[in-house]
Structure 1
Amino acid sequence: MKLASKRRTGVVVALLSGLALAMTSTSARAATDGPDAIAHRGSSGMAPENTAAAIDLAVHQRADYVEIDVQRTKDGKLVNFHDCTMERTTNIEDLYPDRPRYRVSDFTWNELRRLDAGTWFHDDYADERIITVDDVIRHIQHTRTGLLAEISPCSQYGTTIATDLADALRAKPHYVHKALTRNRLAVQSFQTDDAHTFHTAQPDIPIGILDADRPTDTELVELSQWADQINPQHTVTDQTLVDRIHQLGMDINVWTVDEPGAIRKMTNLGVDGIITDYPQTLTQR
Structure 2
Amino acid sequence: MHARVAAATTAALLGGTVLILPTTSAHAADDEGPVVVAHRGASAYAPENTLAAVDKADDLGFIWVENDVQRTKDGVLVVVHDATLTRTTDVEKVYPDRAPWRVADFTAKEISRLDAGSWFGRRYAGTRVPTLKQYMNRISRNHQKLVLEIKNPELYPGIERQTLKVLSNEGWLDPGHLRSRLIVQSFSPDSVRTVHDLRPGVKTALLGTPSVANLPAYSRFADQINSSHSTISTGYVAAVHAFDGPHGKPLEILTWTVDDARTARRVAGYDVDGVITNRPDVVRRALSGY
What TM-score results when the alignment is normalised by the length of structure 1?
0.87
2:189 to 192, 198, 202: 192
CA gap of 1:193–1:264, structure 2 versus 1, over 3 A, is: same
Q: Does 1:204 align with 2:189?
A: no
Hey, what does 1:224 align to over in structure 2?
Answer: 219
* Cα distance in 2 between the residues matched to 1:142 and 1:21: 43
Aligned residue pair count: 269
Give the aligned residue type for 1:184: R
Hey, what does 2:269 align to over in structure 1?
Answer: 268
Is contact 1:232–1:253 with CA below 8 Å preserved after alignment? yes
* Cα distance in 1 between the residues matched to 2:268 and 2:147: 19
- CA deviations on 1:26-73 (whole Å, 9 max, x unpaired) are 598399311111111110011110011101111222223111000111
CA gap of 1:227–1:27, structure 2 versus 1, over 3 A, is: closer
Q: Using CA pairs below 8 Å that are at least 6 residues apart, which structure has the higher relative contact order?
A: 1
Hey, what does 2:104 align to over in structure 1?
Answer: 105
CA gap of 1:152–1:61, structure 2 versus 1, over 3 A, is: same
* Cα distance in 2 between the residues matched to 1:196 and 1:174: 19
**Alpha-carbon offset, residue 87 of structure 1:** 0.6
Hey, what does 1:82 align to over in structure 2?
Answer: 81
Hey, what does 1:138 align to over in structure 2?
Answer: 137
- CA deviations on 1:9-40 (whole Å, 9 max, x unpaired) are xxx9957x975884334598399311111111
* Cα distance in 2 between the residues matched to 1:110 and 1:62: 33
* Cα distance in 1 between the residues matched to 2:172 and 2:29: 33
Hey, what does 1:233 align to over in structure 2?
Answer: 228
**Alpha-carbon offset, residue 180 of structure 1:** 2.1
Structure 1 vs Structure 2 CA RMSD: 2.5
Give the aligned residue type for 1:218: A
**Alpha-carbon offset, residue 155 of structure 1:** 4.0
Give the aligned residue type for 2:279: Y
Is contact 2:27–2:34 with CA below 8 Å preserved after alignment? no
What TM-score results when the alignment is normalised by the length of structure 2?
0.85
Matches within 5 A, 1:30-69: 32-69=31-68
CA gap of 1:200–1:175, structure 2 versus 1, over 3 A, is: closer
SS at match of 1:167: helix
SS at match of 2:253: strand
Unaligned runs of 5+ in 2: 9-18, 244-249, 286-290
* Cα distance in 2 between the residues matched to 1:232 and 1:79: 24
Give the aligned residue type for 2:160: A
